[in-house]
Structure 1
Amino acid sequence: MDLFERMPAPFGLIRYGVAPDHPRIKGIVTALHQVLDKPQVRLFGNVDYPADLTLDDLRAFYDAVVFATGAAADRELPVPGIGLDGSYGAADFVSWYDGHPDVPRTWPLTAEKVAVLGVGNVALDVARILAKTADELLPTEIPPNVYDGLKANRAREIHVFGRRGPAQARFSPMELRELDHSPSIEVIVDPRDIDYDKGSLAARRAGKQTDMVAKTLENWAIRDVGDRPHKLFLHFFESPVEILGAGGRVTGLRTERTALDGTGNVRGTGVLRDWDVTAVYRAVGYLSEHLPKLPWDPDSGTVPNAGGRVLEESGRHLQSTYVTGWIRRGPVGLIGHTKGDANETVAGLLDDFAAGRLHTPAFPAPGAVDAFPRRARGPLHHVGGLVPARRRRAGAGRAAGAQAGEDRRARGHAAGERRLTARPPGRGRTRAGVVRPPGRAQSRPAVTSPLTLPSVMAGPSPPARVGGAAVARPLTVVPVTR
């Protein structure tokens, strides 16, 4: 399996989309290293689709292509003044503080009063990074240029705006409470913004996380304001209608007060208010890019699919072509939510493989793509060589202890797992397509990692017809990421 990545290094969202002060989430990289360190997985860095490889190119070398290109652009916010200097997309700011190579090394942080539009976790990330001191981030993986930039940050007031109420906020409870953990941030909620209608109360009863968020906001609304140096205001029922400006730069934000309509939605009241801010960050969602040669739904910003199988306009499956992640489902949910998508996509791919529905590439030999002339932007990187030495040493003991059990499992499973091509579809297989040893009971389905495909890579594929003769070869799959 070959993985093509536009960046020099893998792990996309984990590396370039998670705030540096979230080491617990960034720790997922350790598990991903273990996957990419397997000998049957190769990583090609600095390869851009479609500039370096087109879909036709990929299909010439691989049985199946899986696109996992995510969503990296900011969704548009159609209000006047959005193009003024000092009006920024959250995605660009997140890329800057995570050291993404596509963004400049510096960021203008001269505004003392800042507005953040949106009530999701990305809005919290932006507000928190702007409100924390640079020294608070020193224990993290913050890049040196970002530390220097935040050291000069002049922001003292951060205003986060949501057009609906506390019960409609999309914060996760842990991320919200984290705001109050910083010794530099005083979180302030106006008691007048704590309001619920029947729809809001129903949402609280139906969702534990919604109720936890509402309770946290209620507690903050009734407490006295402290003396921490940076004030972070969470405003509700304020809908942005215009970003004010003069001389081409942001000078303020105009909002319209909204009110609940009984269903959890809101209506405008006509009451306008101008806020004294000189920078505005919009965190109203991400947007995927249209991938050439693939169908596209511009409304959802996704590739039309059924269970991860790409669908043509006719509704038929585009043979051997699959999607997973945000390019499949849209930019919603947390990182863990895409695991189910990946499992379903891979299960469909393996079903198609077992049923003989995959196409036969023109150059099926493993490694044939290495000589392709358009792969010229960077060398082949195998992630095993990128694992820090200290992690290797720390994991050596665990690896040695686990090896004996792994060997036992391998001996017990080899016969069954490698019979994928000999069994009729559906017999003895789990949802992810791994064949279990005959007669062995299992209380819950085992899920194959969506990148490793051990049973397929280790065992023979269905015979391929070459010049009239049947030739056994391994299934070749190429995930494409950005």
Structure 2
Amino acid sequence: HHREWRCERPPSCLRRWLSSAAPAPRVCVVGSGPAGFYTAQHILKHHGGALVDIYEKLPVPFGLVRFGVAPDHPEVKNVINTFTQTARSERCSYYGNVTVGRDVTVPELRQAYHAVVLSYGAEDNRVLGIPGENLLGVYSARAFVGWYNGLPENRDLKPDLSCETALILGHGNVALDIARILLSPLQLLRKTDITDSSLAALACSKVKRVWLVGRRGPLQVAFTIKELREMINLPGTRAVLDPADFTGLENAVKDAPRPRKRLTELMMKTALEKPGEKAVEGLGDSAKAVPTGDVEELECGLVLSSIGYRSLPLDPAVPFDSQRGVIPNSSGRVEGVPGLYCSGWVKRGPTGVIITTMNDSFDTAQSVLEDLQGGVLDMIPSREGFGAVESILHSRGQCQAL
């Protein structure tokens, strides 16, 4: 198993003597993306004795900050510096190449730690559930983003970029990221940390036109103004919006919250020519998409489905709401399982930006701290932490290169 930032702790005899009064709380965090690191950071900062071990399925840390953020958004990746500081704490250890639920189970982790926090994110994508979804040339946004960011499981994707028209299903920031990467001039992409193989493929790309297709109207788009501006200002590219989509929106947007108002005004300003008709019931964020019965055909050679990510159940011992794709919880405390917590997308669903996840993770960490201080967690006996997990990994032949 690959390890980084391994800090030695006092020998066990000394540790036992030091901790005979009250054992140091051992906390396990599953997943090393923003949710995992922010949870660890908050616990370490506000509890002077807590020891935190972070487990990760991949060899390397940082989750979607590393493999999900667009390569031309380096400023978003700056949080990696904060996470590295957390990992350097002598009370924090990182273990990569460990798949929880397979190499070691959640009940086994609960035996080895006083508290276990599940922060493993949303590794699947939502499916459309329509015929043709599995045709050649149809990809999930998640796989495509993983491809240009060098995620090991997606690096051999080889998307066919020989067509002139691509279609992206979805109106979120990820959809705009993909459109921007597909249409960006090569000299801009060369300055980013995009993978060499993706850059080579994009250099040969014939894609000139990208449709962004969503179920609902302009008032319900999920992307934010920064991403829209980047798209509108992309050199050599023209944003084309249908003016008919914006009819009567001046009044509807008057009382909208300021960010939504500014976003809609920018779209209205940009709106140019054509196509189609759609019907939306209701107003504001909650409007429902209603089939009109009209069918429009868009010819394209590449379809990318960007309709959201989805969390998967990790272990039969952990309750999971398949309908909502989250672990049922209250302030991060997993329902019915004392000592088990969750944070990030698996806690609240795959929405929001990094700051949303930060606040959410601090909320969970606070629950852990309250339970440690309030005597909710059984602190006697002391727990072995990674020592116990290491034995389990060895017994299953999962321990190479420790």
Distance (whole Å) between structure 2 residues aligned to residue 297 and residue 216 of structure 1: 38
Gaps of 5+ in 2: 1-51
The match for 2:312 is 289
Q: Which residue of 2 aligns with 1:445?
A: none
Q: Does 1:178 align with 2:198?
A: no
**Aligned position for 1:88:** 139
Please show how residues 240-279 of structure 1 align to structure 2 within 5 Å: 257-264=277-284, 265=287, 266-279=289-302
Show the counterpart of 1:308: 332
Partner SS for 1:102: helix
Of the candidates 365, 368, 378, which is equivalent to residue 359 of structure 1? 378
**SS of residue in 1 equivalent to 2:80:** helix
Partner of 1:451: none
* CA distance in 2 between partners of 1:189 and 1:303 (Å): 39
1:43 aligns with 2:63: no
Select which of 159, 163, 186 maps to 2:215: 163
Q: Which moved more, 1:358-367 or 1:84-93?
A: 358-367
1:98 to 136, 142, 149: 149
The question of 1:190 aligning with 2:245 is answered: no
For residue 179 of structure 2, the aligned residue among 127, 150, 153 is: 127
CA distance, structure 1, for counterparts of residue 349 and residue 248 of structure 2? 29
SS of match in other structure, 1:126 = helix
TM-score, length of structure 1 as denominator length: 0.67
Q: Which amino acid aligns with 1:297?
A: D
Cα distance in 1 for partners of 2:107, 2:283 equals 49
Q: Amino acid of the residue matched to residue 61 of structure 1?
A: A
Matched-pair contact (CA < 8 Å) for 1:165–1:195: no
**Partner residue of 2:261?**
211
2:296 counterpart SS class: strand
Alignment CA distance shift 1:344-1:262 (3 Å):
closer
Distance 2:382 2:102 in 1: 21
Evaluate the alpha carbon distance shift between residue 132 and residue 202 of structure 1 in structure 2; reply closer, same or farther with a 3 A threshold: same
Distance 1:88 1:44, change over 3 A: same
The 1:262–1:195 alpha-carbon spacing in structure 2 relative to 1, beyond 3 Å, is: farther
Q: How many pairs align?
A: 343
User: 1:71 aligned to 113, 122, 133, which one?
Assistant: 122
Residue pair 2:57, 2:100 contacting (<8 A) in 1 also: yes
Residue deviations 1:21-78 (CA, integer Å, cap 9, x gap): 1011011111111111111100001111111111122122111100100012110112
Output aligned runs, 1:332-411, within 5 Å. Answer: 332-360=351-379, 364-365=383-384, 367-369=386-388, 371-374=390-393, 376-377=398-399, 379=401
Alpha-carbon contact 2:390-2:399 (below 8 Å) kept: no
Distance 1:100-1:196 versus aligned 2 partners, 3 A rule: farther
Larger Rg: 1
| Structure 1 letter corresponding to 2:211 | H
Question: 1:145-156 counterparts in 2 under 5 A?
Answer: 145-156=197-208
Kindly provide the amino acid, as one letter, of the partner of residue 283 in structure 2. T
1:409-437, Cα deviation, whole Å (9 max, x unpaired): xxxxxxxxxxxxxxxxxxxxxxxxxxxxx
User: Could you tell me which amino acid in structure 1 is paired with residue 123 of structure 2?
Assistant: A
Instruction: Rate the CA distance shift 1:369–1:196 in 2: closer, same or farther, 3 A.
Output: farther
Quote the Cα distance in structure 2 between the aligned partners of 1:35 and 1:184: 42
Letter in 2 for 1:287: R
- In structure 1, how many angstroms separate the alpha carbons of the residues matched to 2:384 and 2:63? 28
Alignment equivalent of 1:16, drawn from 67, 74, 78:
67
In structure 2, the CA distance between the partners of 1:366 and 1:49, relative to structure 1 (3 Å rule), is closer
Check conservation: 1:90, 1:281, Cα contact below 8 A: yes
Check conservation: 1:297, 1:303, Cα contact below 8 A: yes
SS at match of 1:269: coil
Contact 1:133–1:151 (CA under 8 A) maintained in structure 2: no
Report deviation, 1:270: 2.4
Larger helix proportion of the pair: 2
| Bigger strand fraction | 1
**RMSD (CA atoms):** 2.2
Cα 1:363–1:148 shift into 2, 3 Å? farther
Q: Please state whether the residue corresponding to 1:187 is helix, strand or coil.
A: coil
Instruction: Tell me the amino acid that sits aligned with residue 140 of structure 1.
Output: T
Q: Does the 8 A contact of 1:47 with 1:378 survive in 2? A: no
**Matched position secondary structure for 2:266:** helix
Contact 2:185 2:235 in 1 (8 A): no
Cα distance in 2 for partners of 1:133, 1:150 equals 10
